[in-house]
C-alpha cells in the first residue's frame, strides 16, 4: 500500500537550504504500514541547495518567483509538477502527505505575496505540485504533515486512505452487482458515521430503482463513495452508529449488559473514554453472539488496531 510523501518529510536533504524536514510521525509510524514514495519537484529542476522561491500575485495571476534573482520559474515548476503528478497517478497511491507552507507542496494557506517587492502576503494559495496532484486525482486522500498532528484529522485521513485502498481493490476485482451490494453493506456504518445524506444516496444508488446499467451504477457509486469517505466524521454521528450496532443484538442481552454498553456509549460521547473502549466492547458481543452482518462492518475494524487512532480522546469532535 503506497502513500506519496513530500520527500523532505522523509528526511531527504532536498530543501532549498540543503536540509531535510523529517516528520517523526510519517517516518516512525506510517512507514510500518505503507510504502512511502518520495516526490520533490523543486530538487528535480533546481538541484539542492538552491535559491528559495515564493508565490507572487502578478496582475491577478499566481507566478513563482525566485527570491534573490527574481526569476520567474512558473512554467518550469508547473511542467515538472505535471510530470510528477502523472508519475504519482501511475504509482497507484492510496494517499499523499504534503509538506505544508511550501510554494510547491502546500495544499492550502500557502503565502501569496502581493507583488515582487512586497513582504505583504495572504495565506491563501496552493503549491503548484499539490495542485497538479489533486487535479490529476481529485479523490485521492491528501493531507499536510502539520495537520496530521491533530488526532481528529489524522484519524479521518487514515480511515479515508484505507477505505480508498479497499475501494480500489474492489474495482480491480471485476465486480458484479452482488459484489457491489456486499461492498456497500460492509461500509454502511462507516459512511453513516460521516454523513447520513451520503448513507442514503449510496443506498439509493445500489437499490437501482431506475434499472440502470451496472457500469453506470458503478461509476455513480464510485464518485459518491469517494466523496463520502473524504468527509470528516463527528462524535454525535459516531455515537448514533454505536447505538445502531447495539440495537442489533440488544434483545439478546441481560439488563446489566445493556446498561453497561449504553453507559459506555454515553461516556464516549461525554469525552470520558475513547472510542476504542466502546468498539472493543461491541466487538466482544458481535463475536460472542455471532453477528454475521456486524462482523463485516468496516466501522468496527477500519484499519490496523496498532495505529491506535481511536485510543485518543481528541480523535472525535
Point out which residues bind ligand SF4 (CB under 6 A).
Answer: 6-8, 14-15, 40-43, 99, 102, 104-105
Q: Rank residues 8 and 300 by Cβ distance to ligand SF4 and give the closer one.
A: 8
Q: Rank residues 7 and 205 by Cβ distance to ligand SF4 and give the closer one.
A: 7
Closest distance to ligand SF4 from the beta carbon of 15 (Å): 4
Q: Rank residues 23 and 166 by Cβ distance to ligand SF4 and give the closer one.
A: 23
Q: Rank residues 7 and 107 by Cβ distance to ligand SF4 and give the closer one.
A: 7
Q: Rank residues 40 and 261 by Cβ distance to ligand SF4 and give the closer one.
A: 40
Closest distance to ligand SF4 from the beta carbon of 118 (Å): 22
Closest distance to ligand SF4 from the beta carbon of 103 (Å): 8
Helix H, strand E, coil C: the string for the chain is: CEEEEEHHHHCCCCCCCCCCCCCHHHHHHHHHCCEEEEECHHHHHHCCCCCCEEEEEECCEEEEEECCCCCECHHHHHHHHHHHHHHHHHCCCCCEEECCCCCCCCCCCEEEECCCCCCCEEEEECCHHHHHHHHHCCCCCEEECCHHHCHHHHHHHHHHHHHHHHHHHHHHCCCCHHHHHHHHHHHHHHHHCCCHHHHHHHHHHHHCCCCCCHHHHHHHHHHHHHHHHCCCCCHHHHHHHHHHHHHHHHHHCCHHHHHHHHHHHHHHHCCCCCHHHHHHHHHHHHHHCCCHHHHCCHHHCCCCHHHCHHHCHHHCC
Q: Rank residues 12 and 155 by Cβ distance to ligand SF4 and give the closer one.
A: 12
Closest distance to ligand SF4 from the beta carbon of 8 (Å): 3
Closest distance to ligand SF4 from the beta carbon of 97 (Å): 11
Closest distance to ligand SF4 from the beta carbon of 90 (Å): 19
Amino acid at each position: 500500500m503506497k502513500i506519496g510523501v513530500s520527500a523532505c518529510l522523509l528526511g531527504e536533504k532536498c530543501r532549498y537550504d540543503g536540509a531535510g524536514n523529517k516528520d517523526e510521525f510519517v517516518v516512525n509510524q506510517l512507514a510500518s504500514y505503507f510504502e512511502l514514495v518520495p516526490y520533490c519537484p523543486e530538487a528535480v529542476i533546481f538541484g539542492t541547495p538552491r535559491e528559495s522561491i515564493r508565490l507572487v500575485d502578478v496582475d491577478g495571476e499566481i507566478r513563482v518567483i525566485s527570491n534573490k534573482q527574481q526569476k520567474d520559474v512558473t512554467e518550469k515548476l508547473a511542467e515538472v509538477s505535471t510530470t510528477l503528478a502523472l508519475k504519482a497517478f501511475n504509482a497507484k497511491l492510496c494517499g499523499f502527505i504534503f509538506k505544508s507552507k511550501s510554494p510547491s507542496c502546500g495544499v492550502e494557506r500557502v503565502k501569496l505575496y502581493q507583488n515582487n517587492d512586497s513582504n505583504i502576503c495572504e495565506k491563501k494559495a496552493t503549491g503548484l505540485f499539490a495542485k497538479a496532484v489533486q487535479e490529476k486525482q481529485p479523490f485521492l486522500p491528501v493531507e499536510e504533515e502539520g495537520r496530521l498532528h491533530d488526532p481528529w484529522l489524522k484519524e479521518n485521513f487514515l480511515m479515508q486512505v484505507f477505505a480508498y485502498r479497499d475501494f480500489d481493490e474492489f474495482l480491480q476485482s471485476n465486480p458484479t452487482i452482488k459484489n457491489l451490494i456486499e461492498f456497500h453493506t460492509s461500509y454502511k456504518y462507516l459512511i453513516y458515521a460521516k454523513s447520513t445524506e451520503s448513507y442514503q444516496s449510496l443506498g439509493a444508488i445500489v437499490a437501482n430503482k431506475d434499472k440502470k446499467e451496472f457500469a453506470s451504477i458503478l461509476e455513480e457509486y464510485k464518485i459518491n463513495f469517494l466523496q463520502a469517505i473524504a468527509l470528516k466524521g463527528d462524535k454525535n454521528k459516531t455515537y448514533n452508529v454505536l447505538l445502531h450496532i447495539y440495537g442489533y443484538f440488544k434483545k439478546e442481552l441481560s439488563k446489566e449488559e445493556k446498561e453497561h454498553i449504553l453507559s459506555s456509549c454515553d461516556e464516549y460521547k461525554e469525552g470520558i473514554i475513547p472510542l476504542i473502549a466502546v468498539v472493543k466492547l461491541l466487538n466482544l458481543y458481535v463475536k460472542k453472539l455471532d453477528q454475521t452482518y456486524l462482523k463485516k462492518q468496516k466501522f468496527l475494524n477500519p484499519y490496523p488496531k496498532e495505529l491506535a487512532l481511536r485510543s485518543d480522546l481528541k480523535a472525535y469532535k
